[in-house]
Amino acid sequence: MKTNGLLYLMIAGIVLGIFSGWMYGSAMLAVEWIGEMFLDALKMLVVPLIISSMIVGIAGLGDIRKVGKTGLIALAYFMTTTCIAVGIGLVMVNIIEPGIAVEMTVQHVPEKVTGKEAVGITDILKTFVSPNLVESMVKMEILPLIVFSLVFGGVLTTLGEPGKRVIDFFDTVNSAIMKIVHLLMYFAPLGVFALIASKLGAAGGGDLFLAELAKVGKYAATVISALLLHGLVVLPTILYITTRRNPFVYFKNVTAALTTAFSTASSSATLPITIECAEENNRVSRKSALFVLPLGATVNMDGTALYESVAAIFIAQMLGIHLGFGEQMIIFLTATLAAVGAAGIPEAGLVTMVMVLQSVGLPLEGIGMLLSIDWFLDRCRTTVNVWGDSIGAGVVDFLEEKWVERGGKT
């Protein structure tokens, strides 16, 4: 399908989805199954895609020094953009002060976060490996799959001809999965429509949504304006400065991924389409796309990091607790880590919030206040997460070509 055709259809899907969910409310639950089928079809591809992508990506990068340098470039991009995102969140929430004069009406800790009291840095580190790879596949725990595939792919490159045969096998697996993604994209506009319409319908339609929004409207406005600043100003500027690529064209080329991110609220489920857009539309080299995007979907979450910092300070403001510079710095650090630790699934950020709140002694009950609107803000931050990954693929690809391939000569 032509990029433009798909682009218009996806946008039409979103607009129609919002319109129908808004107007017809719970009646739109009738199309929920279509959305679920689309989501499941995407998820079905994620495990084989991640494993084959990481193996092919790492093998494509060649010897271990190149892998190291490319990895460092990716890491530097991830860390820089995540820190800028948290910084923007902190500045905006301190200027707008959305929590002042808002009464905290929720007294209970939401079920999602109960039992998560012990989330800390070591818990995040522990998620990098798994005692059982098959169980990780079943539970869609992506991080151990990435770590295993990276090491596995790296080792394959040292085994000579037999290793190459296995790499070729995964290369073919990857190409086949991407073909399926290509086919699935024909259903994406319908899937996006159904996901949005049924979710808005489940939330009670436009009137109920507006009522929920009114309660925490200033908070939602703070998150959204900070996300817009990061997504529409900071990230495109980084893209332009490093690669001289036109951010508007780049944006247009990833619209399918962004609309899918908005409707699924999951970076992992969107990954197949993010890779497709990067390779096919934005001409990011295959090895960079396959290396950077699975990693990015799991650890690089600018939108989530930004949201965590805004939400934590919002809760403090609501409770009338003044957080000084030191405490805000702690939030800065823990929000960054919490975003790294959040899985690319819906509302994962809400769960890793526990770590941020605990670091400065804020009560977990505060999360209850964010719940009603989180399904919506989750979609907004997931879109920024995927946008950040997509730009990361372009930036790393360019710098890798410039610095690693040509040995640093420009």
Interface with ligand ASP by CB under 6 A: which residues?
265-267, 301, 304, 342, 344-349, 378, 381-382, 385
Smallest gap from Cβ 125 to ligand ASP, in A, equals: 19
Q: Which is nearer to ligand ASP, 71 or 346 (CB)?
A: 346
Smallest gap from Cβ 343 to ligand ASP, in A, equals: 7
Q: Which is nearer to ligand ASP, 194 or 353 (CB)?
A: 353
Smallest gap from Cβ 60 to ligand ASP, in A, equals: 26
Could you give the CA distance from residue 152 to residue 291 in angstroms, rounded to a whole number? Answer: 14
- Residue 363: DSSP 8-state: -
For CA atoms 303, 305, 311, 317, give the dihedral sign: negative
Element (H, E) at 234: none
Q: Which is nearer to ligand ASP, 197 or 342 (CB)?
A: 342
Residue of closest CB approach to ligand ASP: 349
Q: Which is nearer to ligand ASP, 378 or 400 (CB)?
A: 378
Q: Which is nearer to ligand ASP, 308 or 327 (CB)?
A: 308
Smallest gap from Cβ 264 to ligand ASP, in A, equals: 8
Q: What are the angstrom distances between the C-alpha of 46 and each of 3, 138, 203, 332? A: 23, 11, 28, 31
CA dihedral 86, 92, 95, 98 (to 10 degrees): -100
Smallest gap from Cβ 261 to ligand ASP, in A, equals: 7
Smallest gap from Cβ 374 to ligand ASP, in A, equals: 8
Smallest gap from Cβ 265 to ligand ASP, in A, equals: 5
What string of DSSP letters covers 138-196?
A: HTT-HHHHHHHHHHHHHHHTTSHHHHHHHHHHHHHHHHHHHHHHHHHGGGHHHHHHHHH
Q: Which is nearer to ligand ASP, 302 or 327 (CB)?
A: 302
Q: Which is nearer to ligand ASP, 115 or 320 (CB)?
A: 115
